[in-house]
Amino acid sequence: MAAETIFSKIIRREAPADIVYQDDLVTAFRDIHPQAPVHILIVPNKAIPTVNDVQPADEAALGRLFSVAGKLAHEMGIAEDGYRLLVNCNRHGGQVVYHLHMHLLGGRPLGPMLLRP
């Protein structure tokens, strides 16, 4: 079984977070250090550490990340202007919390996709 992170505690509501959506497969909550006016983390309720650990059985939950991202983007008023969905994996990807999650970022122009070296 995957080692637990703070995200599992947030999903079980044992740790504080501003949860904006939750269902049987995913939970969405505001990032504690927002990088944009809208910065929400959408996470599978199951603790999958990284994209490298995804199994076919996880496809329903991972598909739900996208449908919830679109729904929240509409609710937050950023759908028309646009936004960015981001999933980091391991060290080179800049992953810090080892519970797979999608960042929903928007509310301002986000600039180029990657920092120039």
Residues ≥6 apart with Cβ < 8 Å to 37: 106, 107, 108
* Candidate list 33, 39, 92, 101, residue with the active-site label: 101
- Least separation, in Å, of the C-beta of 116 and ligand 5GP? 19
Residue 36: closest CA among 91, 115, 104, 113 = 104
Residue from 26, 27, 28, 29 binding ligand 5GP (CB under 6 A) = 29
Q: What is the CA radius of gyration of the chain?
A: 14
Measured from the CB atom, is 56 or 94 closer to ligand 5GP? 94
- Choices 30-38, 57-65, 73-81, 108-116 (CB under 6 A): range interacting with ligand 5GP: 30-38
Q: Is 112 in the site for ligand 5GP (CB under 6 A)?
A: no
Structure tokens that stand for 29 in this block: 């909550």
Residue 85: closest CA among 97, 96, 69 = 69
Q: Is 60 in the site for ligand 5GP (CB under 6 A)?
A: no
Residue from 17, 28, 48, 102 binding ligand 5GP (CB under 6 A) = 17
The answer to whether the beta carbons of residues 31 and 41 sit under 8 Å apart is yes
Q: Is 96 in the site for ligand 5GP (CB under 6 A)?
A: yes
- Residues with a catalytic annotation lie at 101
